[in-house]
Amino acid sequence: MSIQTFKNYINGEWVGGDTFENRNPANTDEVVGLFTKGTPADMTAAVEAAGEAQAKWAATNGPARGALLFKVADILEKKFDQLGEEMTREEGKTLPEAKGEVRRAINIFRYFGGEGSRMPGMLVPSERDRVHMFAIRKPIGVCGLVTPWNFPIAIPAWKMAPALIAGNAIVVKPASAAPLSAWRIVEACHEAGIPKGVVNFVAGSGGTLGNALVSAKQLKAISFTGSCEIGNWLHAKASERRLRIQLEMGGKNPTIVLADCDFNSAVENVANAAFFSTGQKCTATSRAIVEDSIYDKFVAALVERTKKLRVGNGMLPGIDIGPAVDEGQLETNLKYIEIGRQEAGEPLVGGHRLTGGDYDKGYFVAPTIFGDVTENMRLAQEEVFGPVLAVMRAKDFADAMRIANNIPFGLSASIQTSNLSRTFEYIYGMEAGLLTVNLPSAGVEYQLPFGGTKDSSFGPKEQGPAAMEFYSDYKTIYLKY
């Protein structure tokens, strides 16, 4: 089979150049595609094209912009199976997970397409007679959207759709490890007839393109999802120019397991949140904080459940966990497993790379649990972003909350309990932006705000109605009649 080359998309044209490979992490013999290595000049041209196109796009009425987003959703839906398979091949997650994510991207385009007919502003009574006062929303201008590899279609979708419906023009910079899914959305935007220059796509190394993006004259905002290191760098650069910026970054998310929980469902929820998608969800559970009185029983059941998880190529039926996304992430996982060994002793399960047969072609790691991790260990404080779970003992609920909050991050958290008062104490006391109760810590929907607190996030939330806060501004009008 010949290998397809995917070009960048600038000012409505497909633009080629030198290429880089995107390989399947479950089978590194397979090249998923060749992507064009964007240059800083390409990035500058893309922002300029967006700057040229934006005013006309903003002047198109909201329902008309919405109709184009509905078209994008329809085009993606027609390719539903293909997009799911491509995502599994480029990122490694299992086919059902990939298809679920494609469904989410389609829903996001429909949700924000509908927003084109709402776009609520504000209308309030004036203190003055015969004065009509109201506020309308207006777009910001050109937005740079920088996305990670772990949700390669959902995250680009949840940035692109609200940015576009608000009347902005955009430049998408996808993760080099998984650019194909975002490219497919851009292709759908092209096919749907979104005017040239409104959507631009520049793949290539973030290290090469980042400075050109953040320095481009017409850029007004950056929405970034990825590591704290890059997010903080972008924030410093953006602040020099007072660009609007939104950052969604790392996490070290806890699940608190109390003695009064529904035991079997708590075991399932922790196993799911820690290991599904290979632990590569920003909302994954990486610390299970278990009340002392059920600690031994819970850990034994969790280890048994973990041993049953099937690791392999996500295209195959019955597989629960795919590979790490690339060699770098594989090495990070193995490095933290060694750190865990030194800090907490032998893992209770897992603790090694999987080898032999087809495993040798990919970046597979056995799901790994370390027991009796204590709060100052690196394994309890630093993000791994892989299938490595630290289990920690808590004396009681108050101790569990203290341990859970003793961390610089604050993305998501979960509690497993049947106690209503503790549930509410957790809801009000937990320092995280996304909370679940008797559910896995991961698995969010698009209709409500998404984002964290503390070092995990900065700026307005993404998704749901909150997304419009970042991608639009208010204009306030006082009118005497």
Report the nearest approach of ligand NAP to the CB of residue 439 (Å): 18
Report the nearest approach of ligand NAP to the CB of residue 86 (Å): 18
Residues within window 202-261 making contact with ligand NAP, judged by CB under 6 A = 205-207, 210, 225-227, 230, 233-234, 248-251
Q: Nearer to ligand NAP by C-beta: 139 or 452?
A: 452
Enumerate residues 6+ apart whose C-beta is below 8 A from 254. Answer: 285, 287, 288, 289, 403, 404, 407, 413, 414, 441
Site map (CB under 6 A) of ligand NAP, residues 177-196, x = contact: x-------------------
Among 159, 173, 190, 393, interactor with ligand NAP by CB under 6 A: 173
86 is catalytic: no
Enumerate residues 6+ apart whose C-beta is below 8 A from 389. Answer: 270, 274, 275, 279, 285, 286, 287, 288, 367, 368, 369, 370
CA-wise closest residue to 288 among 423, 379, 378? 379
Report the nearest approach of ligand NAP to the CB of residue 208 (Å): 8
Among 385, 458, 470, 471, interactor with ligand NAP by CB under 6 A: 385
Whole-angstrom distance, CA of residue 174 vs CA of residue 207: 12
Among 43, 76, 170, 282, interactor with ligand NAP by CB under 6 A: 282
Report the nearest approach of ligand NAP to the CB of residue 197 (Å): 22
Q: Nearer to ligand NAP by C-beta: 175 or 365?
A: 175
Whole-angstrom distance, CA of residue 104 vs CA of residue 445: 8
Q: Nearer to ligand NAP by C-beta: 226 or 347?
A: 226
Catalytic: which of 282, 291, 383, 462? Answer: 282
Site map (CB under 6 A) of ligand NAP, residues 96-135, x = contact: ----------------------------------------
Site map (CB under 6 A) of ligand NAP, residues 334-373, x = contact: ----------------------------------------
User: How far is the CA of 239 from the CAs of 98, 236, 301, in angstroms?
Assistant: 36, 5, 49
Burial of 45: CB neighbours in 10 Å, binned 0-12, 13-18, 19+: buried
Find tokens 């290290």 and name the residue: 207
Size of the site for ligand NAP (CB under 6 A): 30
Decide if residue 176 touches ligand NAP (CB under 6 A): yes
Beta-bridge partners for 9: 14, 201
Whole-angstrom distance, CA of residue 94 vs CA of residue 322: 6
Whole-angstrom distance, CA of residue 83 vs CA of residue 76: 8
Report the nearest approach of ligand NAP to the CB of residue 279 (Å): 11
Whole-angstrom distance, CA of residue 369 vs CA of residue 347: 6
Report the nearest approach of ligand NAP to the CB of residue 211 (Å): 7
Decide: 285 and 270 in contact? Cβ < 8 Å.
yes
282 is catalytic: yes
Catalytic: which of 90, 91, 248, 462? Answer: 248
Q: Nearer to ligand NAP by C-beta: 88 or 253?
A: 253
Residues within window 410-429 making contact with ligand NAP, judged by CB under 6 A = 411
3-class DSSP assignment, residue 457: strand
Report the nearest approach of ligand NAP to the CB of residue 288 (Å): 18
What's the chain's Rg over C-alpha atoms?
23
Burial of 361: CB neighbours in 10 Å, binned 0-12, 13-18, 19+: middle
| Residues identified as active-site | 248, 282
What residues make contact with ligand NAP under the rule CB under 6 A? 146-150, 173-177, 205-207, 210, 225-227, 230, 233-234, 248-251, 282, 383, 385, 411, 452, 456
